[in-house]
Structure 1
Amino acid sequence: MKTPLLIATIFFTGLTFAQEKKSDTLKTKKIEEVVLTKQVFKKQSDRFVYDVAASPVTKGNTTFDLLRQTPLLSTTDDKTLKIVGKNNALIYINGRKTNMDAETVTQFLKNTPAENIQKIEVITVPGSEFQVESSDGIINIILKKKMSDGLNGNMRMSNSQNKYNGSSASFSANYRKDKVGISANLYGGDNIQGQHYILRNGNNLSSNESTGNIDDPNQYIGGYLNFDYQLNDQSNLALSWNSNANKSYNSTVNLFNTIRVYDEEEQTFNTNYTNSRNNENARSYNNSVNLNYELKTDSLGSKLNVNAAYLNYRRFQFTDNRTFLADSFGNDTGANPTQIIYQNLPQIINNFSGTVDYTQKFKNDFTVAVGGNFNKTKTDNDTKNDTYMDGQAPQFAPNHFIYDENIYGAYLTLEKKFSDKFSGKIGTRYEITNSLGTSDNAAEEYKNIKRNYNNLLPYLSFNYAINDKNNISYAFSSRMRRPSFWELNPVRNILTENNYTQNNPFVKASSTYNQELTYMYKNSYFLILNHSYFKDQITQVPLQGYAKSMDGTISEQNVLRYIRTNFGDKQEMSAMVGIQKTFFKQYLTMNFNIGLQHNINDGALAVDPTNGDIFLDKDGNQIVYRNNIKSTSILIQTNNTIRLDKKKTWFLGVNYFFVDKQQIELGMLKNLMSLDLSIKKNWNDWTFALNLNDVLRTNIVEIEDYQANGNYNYVRNDQFRRGGTFSITYNFGNQKVKKVRDIEGASDAIKNRTR
């Protein structure tokens, strides 16, 4: 079935069903007709809470649109979300971590209507009870699961246009009858992700420039099914299933390469031209099942929570990389390629996990929480790499890499409310990690890579309400980050004949230490001071030069490898002030942040950690890549919703962000900014919206780096983010929400580090 037909089926089947329930809907008073006076944004002891139900930006938007307009959150790539302009955020749903890969999470958020969301919690410094990694914060999405008996839901259909056209549709429904609650979501769509690259690297004696396009078509379908049943007044059982499938066939890379090498005898540059034409077919499947049991042990809120989960992730990827000789105009000068590389890069991940959490509350406002977790993961990567070069014998490099990992964890937190003004929380998490990576086609010292380490991760926070208007809080947390599974798989992702990325099975876990001081005034104005220290940070580092292998062989051309590795230490310090407030009798809702961030980098890499290669300059001197540069940058973000009429049916959105240039691991990232506009019309149960993104076409990534040894590296990546999206959303059924019981979602606590 073709995707456009599937989209239409999702939308119109739901529409027909919804019309049958229209009479019930008319009996229910519309929520938007009530004047909402509750506080939209507030600070609790360890988190910021954004009450979506009291915000005018919800209706007709997707969950991703809602998150990018949430105070303290931002995105510069339309894929990942950042907290306070810093590290990527982890997505939790109903207090449990999603066990979907990053691509699936993005599709899920972009295809889940914001009407399904009750509130959003932003946890900048997570406590010991959370299984989070590194300095990442948490975005906890609380879904609307508590409602009166009956059925409600929504449907959404959208069409987007930037470089290419894309479409999507989703259908969500919630049903409750007595003790049974069911919620479901189905979405599908297709798009082509277009990009344009300019890559330059080299020195004054040799250089390589590659320019061209990458087009990645995607067709996807996914959804979730959640079932919960109240066993009795004290206990309930919940089962959830999440699924996503993505197909990306005929993804193409077309780059024109200009290679210049200085000839010392002739004292001139020799220039060669080639074309790199890569074709890729890939598909992936993500399925996870989660079972949750909750038992309330007293009337104070004490409870036992037991979870079990299983994840199966499969990705199949085949690439055909060809290099052709060319002239200065980019035309092929030969019928046959000078080099062909076939790659088969499958990845299969199976994960079993379990958690037990118990919270005991006492009458004197004292809470004890204790729990443990177990994760068992196995990844299977049976890769093949076949190289055919003109006039040479074929080279075959198969590699079967298997990675087994077991994680055991336990935590204890103590929380006390000493008075109406002062509360504190202290805790610690202890984790044991045992892993083994085996490779059947590697040197003897690389065949078995063992990692056994223990980590004690303390946490401390306090919150002091000076009075009704002023609040101050402090938090300290130590965390670790384990490498993602795809980062450990020792394969090369080839871009051109001389440029590629290299994963690294030797990457070890990194540690981070975070401190944060927050001041809030009237639940509307806030100041956040933050310091983060990263030890052995995991990142991607460019190494370039003439590669010399351990057997003494030296490459004939200057090569560039982007290698995953542990790259020294780093510090980030930031100060941000912001406001979240409504003005002019709720005609204007403003969310504005401005801050400074200071980065201190301290890293060096001289040897390819995957095979021991060193890099030489033209004179045979070893090259070391260094990044010990400091930078200070400004961050500005403002999201504004303007109500255009008294009936609350027309809304104008004006959103803007600016990120000043700053030093990152790859070099100096130039400033980024984007102006986004939207217009929205609410008409009964329908919402019509038009969103214009990156109106000024300024959200283009540029990175440049200049080393003391004369090497330089420049990357320009244009993802054609300027475009528009038109969407139609229809809400049906009983929209009346009533709290029946407090049920957490099923366990999604798997340490998901899939691709």
Structure 2
Amino acid sequence: MKRILLSIAVIFGTCAFAQEKKSDTAKTKNIEGVTITKQVFKKQSDRFVYDVAASPVAKGNTTFDLLKQTPLLSSTDDKTLKIAGKNNVLIYINGRKSNMDAESLAQFLKNTPAENIQKIEVITVPGSEFQVESSDGIINIVLKKKMSDGLNGNMRFSNTQSKYNASQASFSANYRKDKLGISANLSGGENIQAQTYTLRNSSDSASNESTGDINDPNKNIGGYLNIDYQLNDNSNLALSWNTWANKSYNSTVSLFNTIINKDGTNYTWSKNKEDSRSYNNSLNLNYELKTDSLGSKLNVNAAYLNYKRFQFTDNITYKSDINRNLGAKSIQMFQDLPQIINNFSGMVDYIQKFKNDLTISVGGNYNKTKTDNDTKSDTYFIDPEKAPKLAPNHFIYDENIYGFYVTAEKKFSDKFSGKIGARYEITNSLGTSDNPPTETLKRIERNYNNLLPYMSLNYAINDKNNISYSFSSRMKRPSFWEINPVVNKLTDDNYTQNNPFVKASSTYNQELTYMYKNSYFVVLNHSYIKDAITQVPLQGYPEKPNGELGENLALRYIRTNFGDKQEMSAMVGIQKSFFKQYWTTNFSIGVQHNRNNGSLDMDPTTGDRFRNEKGEFVTYINKTNSTSILIQTNNTIRLDKAKTWFFGVNFFYIDKQQIELGMLRGLSSLDLSIKKNWNDWTFAVNVNDVLRTNIVVIDDIQDNGNKNYIHQNQYPRSLTVSLTYNFGNKKLKKVRDIEGASDSIKSRTK
């Protein structure tokens, strides 16, 4: 249930000073004198660098809040991050991909104080050495270096009030003694994800409207343990364990349905309940060997990932009337949807540096994944003439991925540098089903190879002007849940349909960047996506391959490869401090042009086609273009000379734009915050979406007369009160964060 509704919302994502003790007043003045001239934001080779330690915005913020205030980064749903309003992001820590699954990583970023961050690197077009998919970008969080042994850590508590109340807490500790380093984190919380939902679809003489509330309670707990040991001056061994658990019991959907067709008007209630829980555990072993004094090194990783999700739904349809009275039960459907994912993976990288400023990198990775989906469905019709329908389906998906890469990076002069590279990936997959809805689903085998080139050039015209160009090609494989051929019902006639026939899409990215005085920047980007994976609505009276025609107008949201898509964008921005750092601003304005070119006339999983009232087959077509404006500004205002009071004003606006589901109306949000730093304590109050303007509304009108409308209010207006305490030796050296060999797989479990 949660995945059904939030999968729609996911598509819409298109848009420090540390307070010293009084006894350290002299030290504070010295730091202040240095940071006035330090470059806070600059372009380096293939990435933008935001020096958080030289900016007054870090203390009292969470890492997630800090990322939202980083130039080029944004979040429209307070759950996911985007680069330049469009690219999805992967989080790296100290140059290595975070060894946490997506859900626990989001909670980790929201629970972790930002005081330990030295800088944030934004890589809009990753090189061949990075295991990324599609147009994904990378956010690399570089932690401060601590030099002495000892113990430090932090505790954070927060409480958020939206439609419902939510609370979160976290505890982190880092310990170092000689060659041994240990870091651990434990965090958890509970909340109820609420939304008011309206879904309306209609044709010339029929319509179906569903409106009501969805409430999804969640309890989360998780953490990590990292152990790092320095074997000698040149080698390190590290072991990492990450765990996360989520419990969502009594998640409910209550929708009132108005169905108009040739036989008249019918009213029903959909009362759905879901109990689900999920567990994600990963174990990673890392070995690093420095091979010379220039920085050459060998890196070896081995990892195991286990993901389990157990989901049980009970969907009941009741008869009703125009007054919304709850009548007799008409249909009841049970679904048992367990999913188990096991992944074994390995990765080897070698970087060779030469004295002539040449760096050669070579490496490879192997991933073996088995996904087990043992779905069981029972549908009971209250009509005694209709027998229960039992629909078990055991779908197993095996996938093997082999990847190899080589890159060469050369600094030709103090002004000019370049990098070229390529990845070669081999994918072998097999999906089998013991009781599929169609014979074609019994065995689905795919084998494909891809060569993915990369190039970047960087030219520093002088000390004030810098220009760079990048090109990359990537694949995007479907998430494991997308290829599980299961139906997730919202109402009797409206549901989502996953698709095991979804194949990998290809993305080609180009980007041209100009930067002036390390404060002003222009970014031009073009992306071409072939066989884009998305969710497409098919509407009409469904006709099965045997000719059986449905009685009611139906709407199915189907995962599929929906033609090709182009995205072009231009962004102008500034990151600068004024009035002796009393006001720090990050402002950007841009324009984005989307070109869609897709069509769908058949449910690829069932073979069903859709007819209108005239008996004609219906095709969903989206060949619409749109141009949108994007505006984002983040401002931190220091209210006192002692740097203890700060006021924040953040705002974003995304103009209406054409997406696969239709025309997404404009989104915006005004967020305010105030914080007080007092020794090792930080008190903060945040108010998000003050004007209640961050609500999703989509309209779609087809040439054939079909209309679709979606209204989704997830109650983004919220008030959060937080308390952060930092303790221990602040000079502690941070434990190495290790990239897991299975990290590229984790993002596909969501």
Q: TM-score, normalised by structure 2?
A: 0.94
- SS of structure 1 residue aligned to 2:106: helix
1:654 aligned residue: 649
- In 1, Cα distance between equivalents of 2:330 and 2:480: 34
Aligned counterpart for 2:561 among listed residues 560, 563, 566: 566
- In 1, Cα distance between equivalents of 2:153 and 2:188: 17
- In 2, Cα distance between equivalents of 1:386 and 1:256: 23
Going from structure 1 to structure 2, the CA distance change for 1:559 and 1:39 (only over 3 Å counts) comes to: same
1:701 aligned residue: 696
Amino acid at match of 1:642: I
Give the Å deviation of 1:26: 10
1:332 aligned residue: 326
Aligned counterpart for 1:488 among listed residues 468, 473, 483: 483
Partner deviation per Cα, 1:400-459 (whole Å, 9 max, x = no partner): 011100000000000000000000000000000000011000233211101100000000
Partner deviation per Cα, 1:305-363 (whole Å, 9 max, x = no partner): 101111111010000000001121211123xx100000001111111111100000000
* Correspondence 1:344 to 2:339: no
1:114 aligned residue: 114
2:125 aligned residue: 125
2:382 aligned residue: 390
Partner deviation per Cα, 1:185-224 (whole Å, 9 max, x = no partner): 1101101111000110011200011110000000110111
Partner deviation per Cα, 1:721-752 (whole Å, 9 max, x = no partner): 0010000000111112669x987556554422
Give the Å deviation of 1:58: 1.5
Amino acid at match of 1:364: N
Give the Å deviation of 1:94: 2.8
* Correspondence 1:214 to 2:214: yes
Contact kept? 1:353, 1:750, Cα under 8 Å: no
Give the Å deviation of 1:460: 0.4
- SS of structure 1 residue aligned to 2:745: coil
Aligned counterpart for 1:688 among listed residues 683, 688, 691: 683
2:510 aligned residue: 515
Q: Map of 1:439-458 to 2, 5 A cutoff?
A: 439-442=433-436, 443-458=438-453
- In 1, Cα distance between equivalents of 2:491 and 2:636: 45
Give the Å deviation of 1:122: 0.8
- In 1, Cα distance between equivalents of 2:28 and 2:740: 30
Partner deviation per Cα, 1:539-590 (whole Å, 9 max, x = no partner): 0000010111111111111100000000000000000000011110000110
- In 2, Cα distance between equivalents of 1:54 and 1:288: 35
Partner deviation per Cα, 1:202-252 (whole Å, 9 max, x = no partner): 112000111100000001101111111111111111111111111000000
* Correspondence 1:470 to 2:489: no
Q: Map of 1:197-212 to 2, 5 A cutoff?
A: 197-212=197-212
1:13 aligned residue: none
- SS of structure 1 residue aligned to 2:482: helix
- SS of structure 2 residue aligned to 1:107: helix
- In 1, Cα distance between equivalents of 2:162 and 2:470: 42
- In 1, Cα distance between equivalents of 2:210 and 2:284: 46
Give the Å deviation of 1:118: 2.8
Contact kept? 2:278, 2:309, Cα under 8 Å: yes
- In 1, Cα distance between equivalents of 2:95 and 2:741: 9
1:423 aligned residue: 417
2:616 aligned residue: 621
- In 2, Cα distance between equivalents of 1:596 and 1:72: 13
Give the Å deviation of 1:30: 11
Give the Å deviation of 1:138: 1.1
2:190 aligned residue: 190
1:78 aligned residue: 78
Amino acid at match of 2:184: A
| Structure 1 residues not aligned, in runs of 5+ | 1-23, 264-269
Going from structure 1 to structure 2, the CA distance change for 1:214 and 1:145 (only over 3 Å counts) comes to: farther
Give the Å deviation of 1:97: 2.7
Going from structure 1 to structure 2, the CA distance change for 1:507 and 1:634 (only over 3 Å counts) comes to: same
Q: Map of 1:16-35 to 2, 5 A cutoff?
A: 34-35=31-32
| Structure 2 residues not aligned, in runs of 5+ | 1-19
2:60 aligned residue: 60
Contact kept? 1:147, 1:176, Cα under 8 Å: no
Amino acid at match of 1:574: S
Partner deviation per Cα, 1:644-690 (whole Å, 9 max, x = no partner): 00000000000000000000000000000000000000001100000
Amino acid at match of 2:656: K
Aligned counterpart for 1:284 among listed residues 249, 268, 278: 278
Q: Which moved more, 1:109-118 or 1:176-185?
A: 109-118
Amino acid at match of 2:363: G
2:372 aligned residue: 380
Amino acid at match of 2:193: Q
Amino acid at match of 2:354: F
- In 2, Cα distance between equivalents of 1:87 and 1:715: 24
Q: TM-score, normalised by structure 1?
A: 0.94
* Correspondence 1:406 to 2:406: no
Amino acid at match of 2:479: S
1:5 aligned residue: none
* Correspondence 1:363 to 2:358: no
Going from structure 1 to structure 2, the CA distance change for 1:425 and 1:187 (only over 3 Å counts) comes to: same
- In 2, Cα distance between equivalents of 1:220 and 1:572: 36
Contact kept? 2:338, 2:373, Cα under 8 Å: yes
2:96 aligned residue: 96
Partner deviation per Cα, 1:11-52 (whole Å, 9 max, x = no partner): xxxxxxxxxxxxx99999998663234322111100111122
Q: Map of 1:213-252 to 2, 5 A cutoff?
A: 213-252=213-252
2:546 aligned residue: 551
Amino acid at match of 1:601: N
- SS of structure 2 residue aligned to 1:114: coil
> How many residue pairs were aligned?
723
Amino acid at match of 2:355: K
Contact kept? 1:674, 1:693, Cα under 8 Å: yes
Give the Å deviation of 1:121: 1.3
Going from structure 1 to structure 2, the CA distance change for 1:462 and 1:191 (only over 3 Å counts) comes to: same
1:139 aligned residue: 139
- In 1, Cα distance between equivalents of 2:640 and 2:733: 29
- In 2, Cα distance between equivalents of 1:699 and 1:414: 44
Q: Which moved more, 1:489-498 or 1:691-700?
A: 489-498
Give the Å deviation of 1:108: 2.1
1:733 aligned residue: 728
- In 2, Cα distance between equivalents of 1:201 and 1:746: 44
Partner deviation per Cα, 1:362-406 (whole Å, 9 max, x = no partner): 000000000000001011110111100121100010100111000
1:307 aligned residue: 301
1:21 aligned residue: none
Contact kept? 1:292, 1:747, Cα under 8 Å: no
Partner deviation per Cα, 1:582-609 (whole Å, 9 max, x = no partner): 1100001100010000001000000100
- SS of structure 2 residue aligned to 1:109: helix
- SS of structure 2 residue aligned to 1:486: coil
Amino acid at match of 2:434: D
- SS of structure 2 residue aligned to 1:490: coil
2:530 aligned residue: 535
- In 1, Cα distance between equivalents of 2:26 and 2:720: 27
- In 1, Cα distance between equivalents of 2:170 and 2:23: 25
Give the Å deviation of 1:93: 2.6
- In 2, Cα distance between equivalents of 1:738 and 1:589: 29
Q: Which moved more, 1:447-456 or 1:32-41?
A: 32-41
Going from structure 1 to structure 2, the CA distance change for 1:746 and 1:566 (only over 3 Å counts) comes to: closer
Give the Å deviation of 1:147: 3.6
Contact kept? 1:386, 1:395, Cα under 8 Å: yes
2:9 aligned residue: none
- In 1, Cα distance between equivalents of 2:596 and 2:471: 22
Contact kept? 1:238, 1:745, Cα under 8 Å: no
Contact kept? 1:222, 1:245, Cα under 8 Å: yes
Going from structure 1 to structure 2, the CA distance change for 1:160 and 1:424 (only over 3 Å counts) comes to: same
Give the Å deviation of 1:254: 0.4
- In 2, Cα distance between equivalents of 1:155 and 1:569: 47
Contact kept? 2:203, 2:612, Cα under 8 Å: no
- In 1, Cα distance between equivalents of 2:708 and 2:304: 43
